[in-house]
Amino acid sequence: MPYAIAYVAVLVAFVAVDFVWLSKMGPLLYRPTLGDILLESPRFAPAIVFYLIYPIGVLAFAVAPALREESILPAIGWGALFGALAYATYDLTNYATLRNWTLQLTLADIVWGAVLTGIAAAAGYGAAAASRHWFAS
């Protein structure tokens, strides 16, 4: 049960915080850099698939180790590392292959992936740890 609760917490935190980032930074960072290669509106099906599967990685590589250690710090640290690596895969590939993709965008997005995933992993850990206490009572 704690893992199901953690999954939902990671999902909600990740989507909510990423929505704020994309709403604010889309017009300031992504649109000016990528210009005409961006769609007018996103393809929602692949976005939904990403948002549903990414928390599984966060659970496996950040939340589960933190729950074993009974500390939020591994969730934040492993979450940030997982996020940086996942986002680096995307961003460095784009930087290597897309004319409009810049180093500034690459670095900003990798840092964002680390911060966002660390936050989401902390939320997942917090929800799972709290649920252990709720269900143990």
Structural domains of the chain, count: 1
Dist CA 26 CA 22 (whole Å):
5
Region of 9 on the Ramachandran plot (φ > 0 left; ψ -120 to 50 alpha; else beta): alpha
Amino acid at 41: S
- Residue 9 structure tokens: 């917490």
Region of 101 on the Ramachandran plot (φ > 0 left; ψ -120 to 50 alpha; else beta): beta
Q: At what angle do helices 44-58 and 103-136 cross, to 10 degrees?
A: 60
The mean pLDDT values, 10 residues at a time, for the chain of 137 residues are: 94 98 92 89 95 98 97 98 98 96 97 98 97 69
pLDDT in the model for residue 137: 56
Helices (H), the chain: 2-25, 31-34, 44-58, 64-69, 72-97, 103-136
- SS3 call for 37: helix
Domain hosting residue 82, numbered range: 1-135
pLDDT in the model for residue 135: 63
Dist CA 17 CA 76 (whole Å):
15
pLDDT in the model for residue 41: 87
